[in-house]
């Protein structure tokens, strides 16, 4: 990962976040709080963005590139999904405070928007639709993962 830069330094990235399904209905104060806490990071192809089993509650939004979600199983790593712009990932760790449930690897060079979990939780508590969207995303991903792993 390259050094993180403030989201506030990139107007195109700010506009992307503002238009996202997750954020487009946030009121001004909540959106400002979220944007001021956000950062940008670049990951080279093959770089690990986050690792299954680690405790980190960053929420990620794909600005550019594509990532692969991998889950450890008895048969080895299983590719669960591939995500690209404008996908969000990391919601389970943010909402549940559990360890990461999968490893995320940059398939190609990626630029990601990162949000601290505490800020995401505060915004979700203040804006129920925001929290509901994250919870719905988490539930859908859990169901897809269980299906792919035969659980």
What does each C-alpha distance from 107 to 29, 49, 82, 145 come to in angstroms? 35, 10, 8, 19
Tell me the pTM.
Answer: 0.91
The domain tally of the chain equals 1
Summarize pLDDT for 92-110 with one digit per residue, the tens: 999 998 999 999 999 999 9
Structure tokens at 118: 């505490």
* 112-118: average pLDDT: 97
Residue 41 lies in a domain: yes
Residue 32 lies in a domain: yes
Give the per-residue pLDDT at 8: 93
Residue 110 lies in a domain: yes
Residue 19 lies in a domain: yes
Residue 132 lies in a domain: yes
Residue 65 lies in a domain: yes
Give the per-residue pLDDT at 150: 67
Residue range of the domain that includes 17: 5-145
Residue 151 lies in a domain: no
62: CATH: 2.60.120.10
Residue 40 lies in a domain: yes
Q: What angle do CA 115, 92, 24 make, to 5 degrees?
A: 50
């Amino acid at each position: 990962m390259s050094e993180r830069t403030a989201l506030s330094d990139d107007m195109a990235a700010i506009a992307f976040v503002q238009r996202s399904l997750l954020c487009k209905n946030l009121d001004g104060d909540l959106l400002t709080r979220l944007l001021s806490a956000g950062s940008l990071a670049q990951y080279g192809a093959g770089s690990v963005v986050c690792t299954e089993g680690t405790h980190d509650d960053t929420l990620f939004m794909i600005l550019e590139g594509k990532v692969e979600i991998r889950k450890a199983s008895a048969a080895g790593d299983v590719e669960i999904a591939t995500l690209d712009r404008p996908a969000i990932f990391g919601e389970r760790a943010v909402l549940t405070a559990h360890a990461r449930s999968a490893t995320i690897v940059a398939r190609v060079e990626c630029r990601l928007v990162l949000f601290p979990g505490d800020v995401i939780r505060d915004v979700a508590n203040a804006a129920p639709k925001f929290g509901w969207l994250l919870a719905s995303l988490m539930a859908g991903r859990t169901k897809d993962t269980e299906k792919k792993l035969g659980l």
